[in-house]
Amino acid sequence: SQANLNNFIIKIIDRDIASGLHKSVRTRFPPEPNGYLHIGHAKSICLNFGIAEHYQGQCYLRFDDTNPVKEHTEFIESMKNDILWLGFHWSGEIHYSSDYFDQLYSYAIELIHKGLAYVDHLSVNQIRDYRGTLTKPGKNSPYRDRSIDTNIALFDKMRRGEFKEGSTCLRAKIDMTSPFIVMRDPVLYRIKYVDHHRTGNKWCIYPMYDFAHSICDAIEGITHSLCTLEFQDNRRLYDWVLNNISLNVYPHQYEFSRLNIEHTIISKRKLHLLVSKNVVTGWDDPRMPTIAGLRRRGYTAASILEFCRRIGITKQDNNVEISALEACIREDLNESAPRVMAVINPIKVIINNYPVGYKENIMMPNHPNKPEFGQRKVTFSREIYIDCTDFRENNCNQQYKRLILGQQVRLRYAYVIEAERVEKNEQGNITIIHCSYYKNSLNQTLDDSYKVKGVIHWVSAIDYIAAEFRFYDKLFSDHNLASTDDFNVSLNHRSLIIYHGVIETSFLPLLKSGKINYFQFEREGYFCTDSKDCSKLQPVFNRIVGLRNNWLA
């Protein structure tokens, strides 16, 4: 799918190129490796990599690894994999913010030399109290006005590990009364006695996001630094840092709205809680809005790109409906997924006037309007399975166009049958439906003597594979979770329902070849084999999405 290039950022870049400010464009995608990428990141990936493609510029992948406490190489590997899976390629080598720790440190010293940064000994809580609020100006730290030489010496002590974690930090000296709270002497460096995945124990001081991000962008020659709207105020600090160091490169930050999706949370921090509290089975649980979860659920890369194209890039915060994402995969798979019959809640049908011990092969198209998908043979026999929801003893609902006692229904691509009687167990549940079939109805247009209600799918009871079907629902019943932290209150305890059913054997060669993982199970929806749990002996399918939008209810 083509990138959606009708947005305000493209207009800005066009302007910058027309004015000669930039000859070429360089963007970056800068995830912090503290979790797995999610659908919100896909929006940012499509934007940053899409711009680079459009202008034949470059897009770097930079791991923003300035907080060693939360970062792991597992996350780095998964992020690389997910970006490639989406079909994007970063320019050149992978970059890491930690590549620039030496330079960042020397720019911090430059700020101290200019009297623009100082070592502070207030505690984290004191710093917060001194900072004030939107309605209350902050007040200066008592350590704010020590000499430059003292600060140089103290910062060196910090680096050498002579202070306790949390006891001392380096702050920018800006304005404790600024209307922008980020400008009230923000912390630039803090102490952490934690090994870093790349620099080991070389450092015990680590730079803060705003300080590191602006300088990394400038060092890398990023022209347009794109981030989400919550960083709008931080742009002042971004510019302040670059205006006060001698790097003399001035990338511009532009902000666009975050993606939020109804009934889910999109934040690595919160998704991490779902994983660590075992609400889900992992980062790639098919209910997760992570790229890995969506992939395992059966979303194709093309469907995710199409979704990002449709939502576009704006400055309006919004909460997109899940159905918008579902529509994209449904449209993709309607074109590309072969059709197969699977019965999710099987109940046995015996066709009493069909010859005992006999079976036949019925040819069926693999796609209703794409002959190039070919045909397959499906076994028909005296005993078959249909879905128990496709049968009713009595019916008073005119909308019900399936099998009813005493009435007729068409078996998909096969015969018309009529239900004659049922067998029940001691609990009164139906165990067998006895039917008769119309021998001449196979694939025929029917004359007026038939009163066929509708068409249902079926699977032969002598030629089938038992399979597990996993149906997923939203993780949360609340539709707006963007500002929620206590999501326990709204957890949907029926977000996974497992069914044990049957599927026609024609699907077995496809499963063995491993070539096709996506199917439309006729009348049920789109499914894919589960990449972790599906085996040749015990097929496991994830329902990606139903055939129609079922979220209206």
Q: Quick one: residue 248, left, alpha or beta (phi over 0 = left, psi -120 to 50 = alpha)?
A: left
Residue 259 interacts with ligand ATP (CB under 6 A): yes or no: yes
- Residues 264 and 289: beta-carbon distance below 8 Å: yes
| Nearer Cβ to ligand ATP (31/501) | 31
Binders of Mg ion among residues 7 to 46 (CB under 5 A) are: 32
Cα 77 to Cα 94: distance, rounded to the nearest angstrom: 12
Q: Is 372 one of the catalytic residues?
A: no
User: Active-site residue among 43, 268, 330, 402?
Assistant: 268
Greatest pairwise CA separation for the chain in angstroms: 102
| Contacts of ligand ATP in 46-75 (CB under 6 A) | 64
H helices of 30-94, in order, are 39-54, 73-86
Partner interacting with residue 298 (select from ligand ATP, Mg ion, none; CB below 5-8 Å by kind): none
484 vs 505 by CB, closer to ligand ATP = 484
Question: Count of alpha carbons within 13 Å of 382, Cβ hemisphere only?
Answer: 7
What torsion, rounded to 10 degrees, do the Cα atoms 475, 479, 481, 485 define? -70
**198 part of the active site:** no
Minimum CB separation of residue 296 from ligand ATP in Å reads 19
The entry of ligand ATP, Mg ion, none that residue 31 binds, CB within 5 to 8 Å by partner kind: ligand ATP
Out of 44, 97, 366, 542, name the contact with ligand ATP by CB under 6 A.
44
Looking at residue 404, the DSSP 8-state letter turns out to be E
Q: Which is nearer to ligand ATP, 268 or 295 (CB)?
A: 268
* Nearby residues of 550 by Cβ (< 8 Å), 6 or more positions away: none
> Measured from the CB of residue 158, what is the shortest distance to ligand ATP in angstroms?
26
For residue 166, how many other CB atoms are within 10 A of its CB?
A: 12
The answer to whether residue 31 forms part of the interface with ligand ATP (CB under 6 A) is yes
Of the pair 64, 530, the CB lying nearest ligand ATP is at 64
Q: How many Å apart are CA 331 and CA 320, to the nearest integer? A: 18
Q: Whose structure tokens read 């207030």?
A: 122
Q: Would you call 258 a catalytic residue per the annotation? A: yes
Site string for ligand ATP, 203-232 (x = CB under 6 A): ------------------------xx----
The residue from 26, 28, 32, 524 that is catalytic is 32
Q: Which two tokens stand for residue 217?
A: 């962008």
CB 227 to ligand ATP: min, Å: 4
Least Cβ distance, residue 56 to ligand ATP (angstroms): 22
178 contact, one of Mg ion, ligand ATP, none, CB 5-8 Å limit per kind:
none
CA dist 341 → 320, 322, 338, 504 (Å): 33, 27, 10, 6
Task: Report, as residue numbers or ranges, the catalytic residues.
Answer: 32, 258, 268
Contact set with ligand ATP (CB under 6 A) = 30-32, 40-41, 43-44, 64, 227-228, 258-259, 266-269
